[in-house]
Structure 1
Amino acid sequence: MNRVLDVARVQAVNWRGIVAWPLGILAFTLVINVAIFGAIGDAAPPEGRVTGALSSIYIVMFVAHLQTITQVFPFALGLSVTRRAFFAGTALVVVAQALFFGLVLLLLEWVERTTGGWGVGVRYFGLPFLIQENPLTQWLVYVVPFLAVSAIGVFMGVVFKRWGQAGMYVLTMTAGVLAAGFAIVVTWQRSWPSVGSFFTGQSTFALLAGYPLVIALVLGGVGWFTIRRATP
């Protein structure tokens, strides 16, 4: 357990990359969007004052944990840290970040709602499809996607360290083939209405908390088995 905590401490040294930069980019995109909607005034109707810039912080977390494997992993192994301890410590950091950033987004959504969309009616944190009935589910809707995108970043980093650029090409092509195959089969069977009905029939909580959690757990498990043979 001590080695796991040591790995978490090593990663915490880069607090700018895992905390400051995500919050800084979040603040930057928020200010830009508030300024834009404030400048255009009544030209944008109330229902049109919605932005998708919240995704920026999730993209930053994906990149941060891709770099965790490509940059921190070799350094940690040089300190005689086992792969098991490194992966467990990384998982601890990912969960802690997700819980923390989820709380930040929950508080900012409350501020946004209280201030009438930062004074200009913009919906940055309280996107219509994100809104839940109680604070706990609202928090989870923010938290779980962090786990999913971080798991994707870690998994891609592990693939790169295990198989290099060839592994990344194969992974990308495999994902493309699967997506194309799915589209071809669904089109052939004329099942796009059924696919649409499936997703529209799911609750927001299931789409943003349930399924992303499954993705995080599956990729976490596959990443663990893969990193055991990864080289620095």
Structure 2
Amino acid sequence: MSNVASTTKLHLNKREMTFVVPLYITAMVALVSILISLLFWRSGSLPGTEGWIQGSQNNPGMAYALPGFLVYLGVQSIATTFPFALTLGSTRRSFVAGTLAWAVVTSAYMTVAFALLTALELATNHWFVGFYIFDIHVLGAGNFALLLPIVFLSTLSLLTIGGVFGAAWLRFGSRGPIFLGTGVAILIIVALIIAMPSAVEIAAAFELWWLAIVAFAAIAASSIGSWLLLRTATVR
């Protein structure tokens, strides 16, 4: 078995963290969303009405729930596994490639899970009572052509971004993530300063595929950054 495949398998051995915990979080957010829907129902709102559907589909709960955990998962995938992988004979390049492969597998798993849950919600006419949990705007509003790339690219971006921060910690210690985060923040602010005079025109011309380009850029930059940082990182 190649070093890349061995690294991927090493990450996948953390089965509960990779496959179960995200579903726990998703289930908790779904439960909270149901309770909020029940609250509005009891206050007089009627499921199925235009106002109910519009308000329910604007629910951002799923977008807020998982990103923090996915970034953490990306951080620990490098910060806690890198030394062990090297002691097992993996090269630094193989470790980065194997970690990226694991992130792709995890992202595909999350995409399939959300697609199945959304399909079930639609098939049951929103859980038989008109509750919108996954058929929401941030997940494509039931359009699988949007749902699949949204979940896959978002998950992969968050995992790889977390990974580069883990690599920065391995290379420079506690200063690494601080310097990296500050540098990224400065670049974003400078980009906004440059774009601000054309904000109206940019907003008018905005296309969803721009977000996909941003996601691919973030994934590529994070993966290359992880490799560059780990080339000279000390095994702790």
Q: Deviations over 1:117-159 (max 9, x none)?
A: 3344333322225428964553222211111111101111111
Determine the structure 2 residue equivalent to 1:228.
231
Determine the structure 1 residue equivalent to 2:61.
53
Return the match for 2:219 from 207, 211, 216.
216
Does 2:199 correspond to 1:192?
yes
TM-score (norm 1): 0.86
Contact 1:145 1:209 in 2 (8 A): no
CA shift for structure 1 position 35:
2.0
Residues 5 and 180 of structure 1: is their aligned pair in 2 closer, same or farther, counting only changes over 3 Å?
closer
Determine the structure 2 residue equivalent to 1:11.
11
Determine the structure 1 residue equivalent to 2:78.
69
Residues 134 and 112 of structure 1: is their aligned pair in 2 closer, same or farther, counting only changes over 3 Å?
closer
Residues of 2 paired with 1:28 and 1:5: CA distance?
33
Contact 1:155 1:220 in 2 (8 A): yes
Residues 101 and 169 of structure 1: is their aligned pair in 2 closer, same or farther, counting only changes over 3 Å?
same
**What value does the CA root-mean-square deviation take over the aligned residues?**
2.3
Residues of 2 paired with 1:177 and 1:154: CA distance?
20
Q: Which runs of 5+ in 2 are unaligned?
A: none
State the number of aligned residues.
226
Q: Which runs of 5+ in 1 are unaligned?
A: none
TM-score (norm 2): 0.85
Residues 100 and 76 of structure 1: is their aligned pair in 2 closer, same or farther, counting only changes over 3 Å?
same
Contact 2:157 2:218 in 1 (8 A): yes
Determine the structure 2 residue equivalent to 1:92.
101
Contact 1:66 1:154 in 2 (8 A): yes
Q: Deviations over 1:156-199 (max 9, x none)?
A: 11111111222222222222322333344445xx332123224x
Match of 1:170, SS state, is helix
Match of 1:54, SS state, is helix
Residues of 1 paired with 2:89 and 2:200: CA distance?
54
Q: Percent identity?
A: 23
Residues 209 and 126 of structure 1: is their aligned pair in 2 closer, same or farther, counting only changes over 3 Å?
farther
Residues of 1 paired with 2:223 and 2:119: CA distance?
32
Match of 1:191, SS state, is helix
The one-letter code sitting in structure 1 at the alignment partner of 2:148 is W
